[in-house]
A and B are shown apart, each in its own frame.
Chain A
């Protein structure tokens, strides 16, 4: 079945460092891919999405490119801020289960001043 694998955390970075969180997927067809962010004590918010191969999703300085050849959707940001500290989830939208999302296990990011 469909699945998502993302890098284990926690990831600790200094402010203004470069961020990469790796995400690879297994799916039939061409699923839509998403990154969600969860700030402490809150629900999940959509960070960015890509719906087809070579699409680049971007938001708030974060970017991810849908790479069909490597089945990847890595999240990147050039200069992280303390306010980016959160848990990041990679997800794919399955055509099964009423278009529910299959999530990776999440990567916790802590940015220190």
Chain B
């Protein structure tokens, strides 16, 4: 049981390049999330997917796109990377329900630098 996995762990891009961050979970969770973590800013929600086949914008979606490929996988794409997208990216997943105690499980993160 691997939990939430993310690839790659580290990436350096030049401005204007594109890349896709991969995330997969093996816990049969409905919901998946992408956050970015910046110094002094905590974690901010980029996009989320409440269930397979749906995606919605979070707090900071500009410059990103996502794909919920199937129930397990949720990818984040940067079409034209900018230095402002230098950050650590975390994927998370959880069971979706009205139950208030559903824990979110986080991946180990991808550290992205855009030059």
**What is the bound-complex CA distance between A36 and B31, given in angstroms?**
19
Contacts between chains A and B (CB distance < 8 A), count: 63
Tell me, rounded to whole Å, the shortest Cβ–Cβ distance linking A105 to chain B. 4
- Max chain A Cβ within 10 angstroms of own Cβ: one of B42, B49, B50, B104: B42
Interface size in chain A (residues, C-beta < 8 A): 23
Chain B, 1-26, CB within 8 A of any chain A CB:
4
Contacts of A17 in B (CB 8 A): none
A103 adjacent to B48 (CB under 8 Å): no
- Does A82 sit at the interface, judged by CB under 8 A? no
A45 adjacent to B33 (CB under 8 Å): no
B42 adjacent to A43 (CB under 8 Å): no
**What is the bound-complex CA distance between A52 and B99, given in angstroms?**
12
When A45-B106, A97-B48, A97-B56 are in contact, do A105 and B42 touch as well, CB less than 8 Å? yes
B101 adjacent to A89 (CB under 8 Å): no
Fill in one digit per residue for A91-113: 1 if any B CB lies within 8 Å of its CB, else 0: 00100011111011110000000
- Does B84 sit at the interface, judged by CB under 8 A? no
Instruction: Beyond the given A93-B102, A103-B35, please list 11 additional residue pairs across the A-B interface where CB-CB is below 8 A.
Output: A42-B109, A43-B107, A44-B92, A44-B106, A89-B42, A97-B45, A98-B56, A99-B31, A99-B102, A100-B45, A101-B43
Which residues of B pack against A, CB within 8 Å?
4, 31, 33, 35, 40-45, 48-50, 56, 58-59, 90, 92, 94, 96, 100-104, 106-109
Q: Which 8 A-B pairs have the closest CB atoms?
A: A98-B50, A43-B106, A103-B42, A32-B100, A105-B42, A44-B106, A98-B48, A51-B100
